Structure formats: C-alpha cells, structure tokens
Amino acid sequence: MKATALVFSARKKANCYDFARTMLDEMEKEGVETELIRLCDYSIKPCQNCDYECLARIDRPASNKEHEKCPMRDDVESIWRKVWLFFI
C-alpha cells in the first residue's frame, strides 16, 4: 500500500506541509510506503483549454487516446503519474 500527500501551499513548510508530514510519518510506522508532493516544487502552467489530453489515459479508453500527450510542457504529467499510477 502507498499513501501520497499533495501539499498545495505556496509556502514550503507551512501548516499543510506539517499536517501531511505528520500523517505520512504515522503511516510509515505502520509499514505504508509514503510520498509527499509539494506542488510549489514543480513547474505548473495554466491549462490552455485543450482536450484534456493529460487525463486521456485515465478517463478514456486507451485504444482511442493512448498516443496523446498534454500540449503544455510542464511537470503536471509527472505529478499525474505519481498520483494516478494505480488507476492506469
């Protein structure tokens, strides 16, 4: 089992971080693999009203959209892979 915490705060070690880290530390004591993702550490550009290629492998049949990638060149795909990997 793996637990992933997403921290959305722009401050690197604010309350959200502290809460997420505390919860993950407790889960690690129980043998759960954990990962903390701070979105402020990634380059994320605003969506440009595309066809949601970034979600194509999650909510559409793979045979239809498997080759498509998000046209935005940022770190969102790497975050999706970490968070949604078990759904793909």
Distance CA 12, CA 25 (A): 18
Higher pLDDT, 47 or 49: 47
Q: How far apart are CA 42 and CA 68, in angstroms?
A: 22
| Segment 44-65 mean pLDDT | 64
Q: What is the pLDDT of residue 32?
A: 96
Global pTM?
Answer: 0.69
Those residues whose C-beta lies under 8 Å from the C-beta of residue 85, and which sit 6 or more positions away, are none
Give the per-residue pLDDT at 81. 79
Q: pLDDT value at position 53?
A: 64
- Return the SS3 of 37: strand
